[in-house]
Amino acid sequence: MSQFGNWLYYRRKFKLFVLPGFGSRQSNKNILALTYERNWELPDGWHANYFDIHSPFTFITSPGLIIEREFNDGKAVYDWLYKRVFRKKTLKAFWFIDAHVSDKERMSYCNNFDFVFVAHSPYIDIVKKNTACKNIFWLPLCYPGMPGDIQQNIATSRYPVSFIGRFGNGFEARNEMINFLRKEYNGNFFTTTDFINSKKLIQESAVTTNCSIKDDLNFRVFETLGYGTELVTNHVSDLDKIEGLKDKLYYFHNLNELKGQVDQVINDSAVKHDMPEIQQWIRERHTMKSRLAEMLEMIDTGKQLEYK
């Protein structure tokens, strides 16, 4: 069965309904198959009812509010669900994760929603021009780990310098950074696309490097800091818009600055950050729990929150 990563939920007196994805079996393509997660950390006062939608006895009741979070492959589309099941009587909101790499057709999916939350603020105006939704806000990404994931870094400097992520075709800026680091640090530079073991690999690195795809403040920034490892990342405009974030990492505008920052972290222990303190900061301010609360506040007030 194919599984997409979206979820929908509704909250407070409407409960919390989770609809992570749908798929079909070849033998019965009309089956609606929904999966769920039971380990979300929710804002205070919220509760969740999780439905085993693999069961043929599961039914969907109309919620008071639906919020869908786009998965990063951008494949799941629920137009039929909104138009035929929930219709206009239910408020709908969308966390648009990949606006920075989406075409106009994908952006038109936002027309299904009363509220759209764009993960990268430089793309808000582009979304506004290509959608009918009138309530569009910025909601940054966050630490993607589950409760209990955050712990003191166990780095042994097994990997002095690392990069964990996709590269190759379509990732020109990353390719340039990776080739530069391979040349400068040779056997001391480790790179992998092993996302399953990414937490362990990041924690065993003295410094992890990052290069976003397209001027986006990506998950890796919050993930690396949440795992307790020093981060050197390319500078993007949203770094300046979240109070305190830029002070907790190293950033570069060009490859010479990249090398200078990496060398500083590796060679000078006096300049290193207090990573346990940063982990605590991430846990308190930049988790899924905090983003859900911020999203609902903006829905309630109709006003953009400031992060500085």
Domains and their CATH numbers in the chain: 7-138 (no CATH), 159-285 (3.40.50.2000)
Give the pairing type, strands 7-9 and 65-69.
antiparallel
Q: Could you give the strand order of the β-sheet that contains 159-164, starting from the edge strand earlier in sequence?
A: 189-192, 159-164, 205-210, 230-234, 250-252
For the chain, the three-class secondary structure string (H helix, E strand, C coil) is CCCCCCEEECCHHHCCECCCCCCCECCECCCCCCCCCCCCCCCCCCCCECCCCCCCCCCCCCCCEEEEECCCCCCCCCHHHHHHHHCCCCEEEEEECCHHHCCHHHHHHHHHCCEEEECCHHHHHHHHHHCCCCCEEECCCCECCCCCCCCCCCCCCCEEEEEECCCCCCCHHHHHHHHHHHHHHHHHEEEECCCCCHHHHHHCEEEEEECCCCCCCCHHHHHHHHCCCEEEEECCHHHHHCCCCHHHCEEECCHHHHHHHHHHHHHCHHHCCCHHHHHHHHHHHCEHHHHHHHHHHHHHHCCCCCCC
Query: Could you read off the pLDDT of 205-226 as tens digits, one per residue?
Result: 999 999 999 989 999 999 999 9
**Dist. CA 35–CA 16, nearest whole Å:** 14
Residuewise pLDDT in 10s, the chain (308 residues): 233 333 343 333 333 444 433 332 333 222 122 223 455 566 676 655 453 434 444 455 555 667 777 755 555 566 766 776 666 667 788 889 899 988 888 888 899 888 999 999 999 999 999 999 999 999 999 998 765 555 655 555 789 999 999 999 989 999 999 999 999 999 999 999 988 899 999 999 999 999 999 989 999 999 999 999 999 999 999 999 999 999 999 999 999 999 999 999 999 877 889 999 999 999 889 988 888 889 888 988 999 999 97
Which two structure tokens, joined as six digits, stand for 87? 């219709």
Q: pTM to 2 decimals? A: 0.82
The label of the residue with tokens 């793309």 reads 123
For residues 93 and 114, is the Cβ–Cβ distance under 8 A? yes
